[in-house]
Structure 1
C-alpha cells in the first residue's frame, strides 16, 4: 500500500525530520544537521521550498551554457503530494527546506500575492536550476529567514519573516524568467509541438468527443504541469495559453467559413462548442465581427 504521511503543520514535518521547530508557522531546516532522511510520500498542508544540492555539471540551454552543479529549487504548495515510498533513507543528506504555513501570511502584503507565484504548482521536473550567483542569493535568503527565527519572537517577527520570504520568491520569479529565456531553443521546439498538437486535435474526432481543447489537456499531452506550460507560452508568445488556443480555434472557424457552406451551428459543433452562440461570442471578441459578417465580407471580396 502506498502510504502517505499527512503533514498539516510545520511542526509535524519538523518532527518527522527530527529537527527543532523554531516557529509554529515557519521553519528552516538544514538537512546537513540530520543523520538520515527517511523516504516517504508526504501530503503537505503548507508551502515548502527545497534547496537540493546536485552534481549535474554543465548544462547546455539554448545557445548558452550554465553551471548548475551547485543546486536546484523545488517548490511544493499546500495539498500537494511529494516524495517516494521505496523503504529507503538518505544518509548524511544535504540541502535546505523553508516551510511556511498560509496562516503566517495573514495580514501581510505577501498573502495577496501568493497566487502570483505559479511555480508552487509546477512539477518537480520543472524545478528552478540556479547559476552560482543565483545560488548565493537564495542561500542568503534562507540564512536571513533562519537568523530571524533563532531570535526571540516579538511583534515585528511575522512581518519581517514574511518580507524576507517575499524577497526570496521575487528572486525566484526573476530566475525563472532567465531560465525560460536560456531555454529558448527547447521552448521553440515545445511551441512547435503545441501547434502540431492543436492541428492534430482539429483533424481528429476529439472536438466531437472531448469538446474544445483545454490548457490542461495540452499541458498533459506535452508532459508539463498546466502552470509551467502556461507561463512558458506566455513568455514565448506574449499571450496566455488560453488566448493562444482561442486564436487557433478562430483560425479554424475562419477556414470553415471561407471553404465550406456549413452553417454557423454546424461549424460550432465540428470545432467542439456545446452551443453555437459560444462560437459567435468568441469570434466577435477575437475577430471583431460576427461569423456571418466575416463570411459575407469574404464573399464580397
Structure 2
C-alpha cells in the first residue's frame, strides 16, 4: 500500500492538474470546468498530500455522505466544497471514486486578479471550512449550480473576445453568492439540532470564564478546535443565526462575566481585568466601554447607587 507522503505535492497550474489526472490540456490556461464523470482517477494523483495553487469549487454527486458530515436533516443530493490556494489535501486511497459524478471548477488567482472579486474572494468563509462542513444541496439548488458551471464552461469554449473574462467572472460571483445563500439555508435547517453549535459554543466559553483566573481570553480558533469545527464555519453559522460573529459572542459573554465580578466581589478594576485574562487592564476598560457605553468603575458605582 502506498504510504502517505510527508511533503505535499504542489500543483501550481491548471494545466499540470489536467496532465496529472490524464485529461486533455485545458481550453483556457487559467480556468477549467471538469466533468467528474470523465475524471474518476483522483487516486492516481502522485501523492497522498496535495496543495493546489488555485481555487477549486466542486459539486459531487453519488458520494458517501458520511464522509462529508451529512446530518439526517440535510439534503441527500449533491455536495459542494471549496478550497483556496495553498490548502493541504489528504487523499483517501481506500475511497471508492468510481460512482462520483458532478463538476469541479478550477480558478487560477491570475484569472480574477484585475477584478474586485480578487480582494473579496477570501472573505467567503466557506473556502476555509472543513470537509465535514460541506454544503448539501437540494435538487433545485443542485440544478442551479449545474447551470452556472455549464455557463462558465460554455463561455470559455466560445471564441474569446473582450467580454469573455468579464462574463465568466460574473458567473463565478453569482455562484459564490448562491453558495452563501445555500449555506445560510443549511445553518437554519440545522439550528434546531440537539448539537446546535451556539449552545455548545456558549457553554464552553462560559466554562472558561468561570475559572478563578482565566490564563488567556479564548480565541475563536481555540474554541472551534474543541468543538471540532472550523473557525470560519462556527462564526458564519452564529452570524447567520444571531447576527453576531463568534468573536462578538465571546466578548459579550466576557462582559457578562465582568459585570458579575464587579457587582459581587471587591476586586479592583485591574484585578478584574487580570482575572478575565487581560494582560493590560486598559484593554479591558476599552472593551467594556465599547460594549456598554460606560467604564467598569462607572458601571459599578452607578449600579451600586441604584440598588441603594
Q: Give your verdict on TM over 0.5.
A: yes
Q: Secondary structure at the match of 2:86?
A: coil
Q: Number of residue pairs matched?
A: 294
1:239 to 223, 244, 262: 244
Match of 2:22 in 1: 18
Instruction: Measure the CA separation in 2 of the matches of 1:80 and 1:206.
Output: 37
Unaligned runs of 5+ in 1: none
Match of 2:299 in 1: 294
Q: Is the 8 A contact 2:36 2:101 kept in 1?
A: yes
Instruction: Measure the CA separation in 2 of the matches of 1:6 and 1:85.
Output: 17
Q: Is the 8 A contact 1:180 1:187 kept in 2?
A: no
Q: Is the 8 A contact 1:2 1:85 kept in 2?
A: no
Q: How far does the alpha carbon of each residue in 1:148-176 deviate from its partner, in whole angstroms, 9 at most, with x for none?
A: 12223232221111111111111111111
The alignment's C-alpha RMSD in Å is 2.2
User: Is the counterpart of residue 174 in structure 1 residue 174 in structure 2?
Assistant: no
Match of 1:184 in 2: 191
Instruction: Measure the CA separation in 2 of the matches of 1:188 and 1:88.
Output: 28
Q: Is the 8 A contact 1:37 1:91 kept in 2?
A: no
Match of 1:79 in 2: 86
1:146 to 133, 150, 153: 153
Q: How big is the shift at 1:90?
A: 3.6
Q: How big is the shift at 1:89?
A: 7.3
Q: How big is the shift at 1:3?
A: 4.3
Q: Which is worse superposed, 181-190 or 102-111?
A: 181-190
Unaligned runs of 5+ in 2: none
Match of 1:100 in 2: 107
Instruction: Measure the CA separation in 2 of the matches of 1:161 and 1:155.
Output: 12
Check 1:92–1:107 CA distance in 2 against 1; reply closer, same or farther (3 A cut).
same
